[in-house]
């Protein structure tokens, strides 16, 4: 049943990415719901689940489109490792401090994605805009994800 709800969450996130696709251009790449889900899981969850999400995103985006594995995997892995590194210094369970982990990780992912696709490092305005867009979308999506934690039935999520 845990796997069932986890699959539904993943599918719902893919569905949401498709729904808000026209808005996810340029700086709004940091608000990609699939990447927010990955960052949220990487905050607290176990590695096997994180690896499953990384694998699903990679397979879906590489085999369904024109992106190469390098273009898809690099930002995803950077986000994952950034979250796992930053959580060593900040409390991932804290309702506000966790944004200080997720937002830099999402901005880093968006910047690397821009660098790989467009061929140059993004400007400071790109970073600032990505920051507030990531903060806004993270603040919208993470409380909803928090509410779904009883369905995932993991000891990592405190009751």
Partner 1 sequence: MKRIERAYWAIGCWLVLALIGYGLQPLVNRSGSADLHRQLLEQALQRSLISEAEEQSILDRQQLLDRYLAANFAGSLYQMVPARLSPHLDPHPRRSVARLDRGTETGLLAGMGVIGAAGVIGKITSSGPGWSLVQLADDPAFVIPFIDEVGRSAIYAGGPNLGRGHPRLRIDPVELLDGMVLRTHGGGGTFPEGLVVGVVSEVRFPFRNSVILLTSTLHHGQEVLVLTPLTKVKTR
**Which positions touch partner 1 (CB under 8 A)?**
8-9, 12, 14-26, 29, 32, 60-61, 64-67, 71-72, 113-114, 117-120, 144, 147-151, 159
Is there a contact between 92 and 43 (Cβ–Cβ < 8 Å)? yes
158 three-class SS: coil
Q: Which residue, 46 or 150, has its beta carbon nearer to partner 1?
A: 150
The 8-class DSSP code of residue 143 comes to H
Q: Which residue, 14 or 90, has its beta carbon nearer to partner 1?
A: 14
- Least distance (Å) from partner 1 to the CB of residue 90? 25
Q: Which residue, 72 or 86, has its beta carbon nearer to partner 1?
A: 72
Q: Which of 85, 98, 109, 95 minimizes the C-alpha distance to 32?
A: 109
């Amino acid at each position: 049943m845990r796997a069932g709800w986890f699959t539904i969450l993943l599918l719902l996130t893919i569905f949401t990415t498709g729904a808000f696709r026209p808005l996810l251009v340029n700086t709004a790449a940091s608000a990609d719901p699939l990447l927010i889900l990955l960052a949220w899981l990487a905050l607290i969850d176990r590695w096997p689940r994180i690896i499953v999400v990384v694998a699903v995103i990679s397979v879906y985006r590489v085999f369904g489109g024109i992106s190469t594995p390098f273009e898809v995997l690099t930002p995803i892995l950077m986000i994952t490792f950034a979250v796992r590194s930053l959580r060593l210094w900040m409390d991932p369970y804290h309702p506000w401090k966790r944004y200080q982990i997720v937002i830099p990780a999402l901005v880093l992912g968006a910047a690397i994605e821009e660098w790989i696709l467009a061929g140059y490092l993004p400007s400071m305005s790109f970073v600032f805009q990505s920051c507030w867009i990531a903060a806004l979308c993270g603040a919208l999506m993470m409380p909803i994800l928090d509410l779904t934690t009883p369905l995932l039935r993991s000891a990592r999520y405190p009751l």
